Structure 1
């Protein structure tokens, strides 16, 4: 199993939105990513991998955990390139559980054991890797 962090602006699509979709038995296509490194991270994801849901811009905090339920596939919001090919891919996710206490970016940056976290080192990347050690620490910080 691998661990990830995926960002969304909560005024566009929040963790609460994902929880509501999951409760209805629906998965969410994590579409709209237009960065090759982030796309490649999604291509590396496997069904069952877990990801933190990070509210970006508003809040700047990890608020919950989600699961990858459909592997990488063409992003339905992407246009085809000049050759008629889909360049952008995405995965589908479902909510697993909220954090009892959100973990802010300020807290993360102030934690010495998280200095190598891609969220800190590659702050503009919307889909990033998380090591098992980082995952466990962040879960503990979030009250899990």
Structure 2
């Protein structure tokens, strides 16, 4: 299993929106960055990810799971853009802010800490375990 982080502006698509989609999940569409797209192309069903509120809050709030692998993004006719579908798994017991991530030992090399603009990014197994522990959930 691989781990990821999905960023979204909570006033556009937040954790509560994701939870409301249930087990069907939602297409993670609209990504127009090649690196983020390539990350989604590498995802497999069952991979887990953190759901991150960007701009407002700047915090990890929940865990999601990839429920459909990469396919063409339905919001464009441009064949360059793909997306996965994700579903909510569970909220963190305690949200983890970006500022906290910057000072937690073991997260110094985390993409979120070093490239805050990338909307879909990998998370190492070690980073996953640290953040789950801090967030109050089982890894």
Do they fold alike, i.e. is TM over 0.5? yes
**Structure 1 stretches of at least 4 aligned residues deviating more than 4 Å after TM superposition:** none
CA distances 1:67-90 after superposition (whole Å, capped 9, x unpaired): 00000000001232xxxxx11000
> Where in structure 2 are there 5+ consecutive unaligned residues?
none
Residue 16 (structure 2) aligns with: 16
TM-score when normalising by structure 1: 0.93
Residue 68 (structure 2) aligns with = 70
- The corresponding residue for 1:30 is 28
Which of 1 and 2 has greater Rg? 1
Please tell me whether residue 79 in structure 1 is matched to residue 77 in structure 2.
yes
**Equivalent residue pairs, number:** 137
TM-score (norm 2): 0.96
Distance 1:14 1:122 in 2: 21
1-structure distance, mates of 2:128, 2:77: 34
Aligned counterparts, 1:1-144, within 5 A: 1-22=1-22, 25-80=23-78, 86-144=79-137
SS, match of residue 41 in structure 1: helix
- Report deviation, 1:135: 0.1
Structure 1: 5+ residue stretches without partners: 81-85
- Shift of residue 27 of structure 1? 1.5
